[in-house]
Amino acid sequence: MSTVKVKLDKELVEKVKKYATIAGYSSPEEFITHCLEKEVSKLDDAKSEDEIKKRLKGLGYIS
């Protein structure tokens, strides 16, 4: 598995560390990976680009 570095706000990183520990993840990276996989899987079911955009808009990721 290859990896990519992503810059995150320090406050968000602190929250991720806190919740990853509470939830029993082995690392903040594992928690982040799980969260992203979960969100991406929701989009994988979309039938078209328009449906993907609609879902992303509904989630507040785009306007």
- Residue 34 near residue 25, CB atoms below 8 Å: yes
38, pLDDT greater than 80: yes
The answer as to whether 41 is a domain residue is yes
The answer as to whether 5 is a domain residue is no
Separation between Cα atoms, residue 61 and residue 63, nearest integer Å? 7
The answer as to whether 3 is a domain residue is no
Q: 47 is written with which tokens?
A: 């039938």
63, pLDDT greater than 90: no
**Quick one: CA dihedral 41, 47, 49, 55, positive or negative?**
negative
pLDDT, one tens digit per residue, over 2-27 is: 889 999 999 999 999 999 999 999 99
pTM, entire model: 0.70
Count the domains in the chain.
Answer: 1
**Quick one: CA dihedral 15, 10, 29, 42, positive or negative?**
positive
Average pLDDT over every residue of 30-39 = 93
pLDDT, one tens digit per residue, over 39-62 is: 888 878 777 877 778 777 877 777
Q: Which domain holds residue 24?
A: 10-59
